Amino acid sequence: MPFKILIVDDAHFMRTMIREIFTTSEFIVAGEAENGLEGVRLYKKSRPDLTTMDVVMPQMDGITALKEILQFDPKAKVIMVSALGQEALIAEAINIGAKDFIVKPFQRTRVLNVARYVLGLDAKLEV
């Protein structure tokens, strides 16, 4: 059975890129959200196996959304997505409970390696 992915990013282009990476592999996209508020709502509705969460978004940032998702589901698997230069925010997210992170611009192989690692499918490979 394919793993369900929730994509949360305010940039339509980034959501499209992430969707294409996952849908050409063993994953299905359970939903997409353009801000953290919508991401939390969709998480509760779809209960994905994995969520990609942008750090900086309008209405509700990724850190706040991560906290709300983990309060709802402490076993949630969330990968943070950030731009270069956001190391402090990534460290905060990891300390809160994010499972890993990917940095924009990213490579297809890196995204899939991190997703498979977080889901327990493969050892983490650096690319």
Cα gap 54→83, rounded to integer Å: 9
pTM here is 0.92
Residue 29: CATH number of its domain? 3.40.50.2300
In a domain, 42, yes or no: yes
pLDDT score of 125: 54
pLDDT in tens, 72-104: 999 999 999 988 677 888 899 999 999 999 988
Helical segments of 24-107, H only:
36-46, 62-72, 87-96
The residue-averaged pLDDT of 31-57 equals 97
108 found inside a domain: yes
**Residue 127: is its pLDDT beyond 50?**
no
Instruction: Evaluate whether residue 125 is within a structural domain.
Output: no
| pLDDT confidence of residue 104 | 84
